Amino acid sequence: MEQINKIELLGTVGSVRFQHINDKQMAKFALVTNRAYKNKEGAPVIETQWHNITAFEGKNVQDLEKIEKGRAAHVFGRLQVQRYTGVDGVERTSVDVICTRLTILPTDTEVQYEM
């Protein structure tokens, strides 16, 4: 049986950090997505979710320098869960998206959602 670990996100870039690792560029950035729906009473609700993205420059991940706060991005990748102990001694879990394909959309693109 085939096992699948895939995620697709379309959202807006928040903070961005760049690094070079072994002559390849890497970007770590936050991506915000919104989900709009109506609650039981019919009132509109917007649910905001932040995602941690790690992208290594490669065949399907290019133009990392175009990543900037406020730009729309379409990310394909896989989930990676890491467990660690913080400096305060509390065990924490981090869920990151390891990017396998990235499209940075034109600057005038606004991410739309429907209710």
pLDDT of residue 109: 61
pLDDT of residue 105: 87
pLDDT of residue 24: 85
Q: Please check the confidence at residue 110 and state whether its pLDDT lies above 70.
A: no
Cβ atoms 30, 50 nearer than 8 A: yes
Structure tokens at 10: 């379309």
Which one is the CATH code of 7-37+45-104: 2.60.40.1120, 1.20.120.160, 2.40.50.140, 3.90.950.10?
2.40.50.140
Q: Please check the confidence at residue 113 and state whether its pLDDT lies above 70.
A: no
Give the model confidence (pLDDT) of 59-106 as tens digits.
Answer: 888 888 889 999 999 999 999 999 999 899 999 999 999 999 999 988
User: What are the residue boundaries of the structural domains of the chain, listed by start?
Assistant: 7-37+45-104
28 secondary structure, DSSP code: E
Q: Please check the confidence at residue 114 and state whether its pLDDT lies above 70.
A: no
Distance CA 12, CA 71 (A): 6
Q: Please check the confidence at residue 11 and state whether its pLDDT lies above 90.
A: yes
Give the model confidence (pLDDT) of 16-73 as tens digits.
Answer: 999 988 888 999 999 999 999 999 999 999 999 999 999 998 888 888 888 999 999 9
pLDDT of residue 9: 96
